[in-house]
Chains A and B, each alone.
Chain A
């Protein structure tokens, strides 16, 4: 593997170079709230590689919360139909992506593009993308990526991977695109001692989970076995369902949740005209499985909760993602008003807690 070094003061040059060709996205600290958000960057100086894990995953970059996939006009008097798909390929660069969020994006990639049918809408978002990951040299409070094998350092899927070594960043090249960018920047080569230093940092980060990442722990493998074989008690799901507010927040902040709804939003001035919109959806909503006519095979909330955790923790879903659906970012535990983020659910199922 090719490796380089970049001085801390110079690390902004990566985003600068990328901004010539790409729309740049990165983590920024919002001044008013002090929260980190991963979003489109207007001022490159705002990208903050030391910022804590962003409140939102980068999912919206490849899978927007709402997007038009088709616009049509049906003129009934002329009996003519005009249809236009909405595909635009915009080159996007993600700078400072956390390893868990990259793992989540790889789940989406495998789900949307790696199965029998390739989702063209997703493909167009993903087609021209440059990914710069950022190793977590210290974990954050809610992290549990060490339990889900998705951190604290990225293993695959990046173009460049940065690791803070103190005065400088180690730059690992993961693709030809990444190599070309490193060459363009004229970076100084790095050697085995630097890699050893990175590994030391990563080991130290893992060791720190015990003291820092105190909010969440998840014994994924044990629960995966139970959920896959159906050896999880009904009463546990009911207990979990009782605490669900059906708000959908867990799905919206999840880097790997991909359910969507499709709705034709018509134009009030033209009866046959509409935009076909694809929007995020959540399996926690009652209307998720309700059919025309009102029949709902999944009316009780625990039936739907069970479904979400099945998606994250079952072996059959793992076959689609080639890894567990949960990437250990801890955001669901962070936002859930009912205290049934994934780590708690794992505990409930594992210990058969029913009240």
Chain B
């Protein structure tokens, strides 16, 4: 005899409606759970975005970052040019570009624009020195690279933004540490909250569960609505956080742009899809883990 069976769609509809019903039945607890999970996700996401912005800033600095090393005036131009091989031999040096003192003077004059007349008279007695513009592979090693370059015989002086880049790298490492700690700490808080909400739902429906067991419902069938409930809590918090982050981020970056033209921020649109995906994955993972652990612990079938 062929066994009658509800379609998977019918069963899914049932689990979904039972999950939604359970969330609504414990409206206050569900609201509290969603709020706490959302707060956790919002804090974590904010730190991630700050970290991302610093990364982008460092990247930009890396692109234009260079060390200018000046060649001792006592060296002939040919001897100065010969230093290129020594500079390229330094660890972390990507490339080096020779700039004559005349080119440098021209660039300086161009930079001055209308005020160029002041220095134009000095052209014949150019006080500048020939130099190399040195590009690095990794900005994190800025300080060591600079030291190594300065140690080369024939290099008289140097000029770079070593402090700024070092500070940014330090800041990035602090923000990353905070970020990872928060992911662990607030993730644990969210799991605890989801677990408690599901525990409450289990408790409220213990009779129903008992009856379902007695009539031969499978474990998966009994557990599914509670897993759905956990998922609803996690995903609702994610959706809420994405919208809140969008509004807050745009507001803050606008304020930063209005207050300073030094700090540059990445527009929200540049990372909204990865952020949405990350939040969704985090919401689903928290919902699944929180509910499955609780069910396994408290529902012996």
A and B from one complex = no
B residues lining the A interface (CB < 8 Å): none
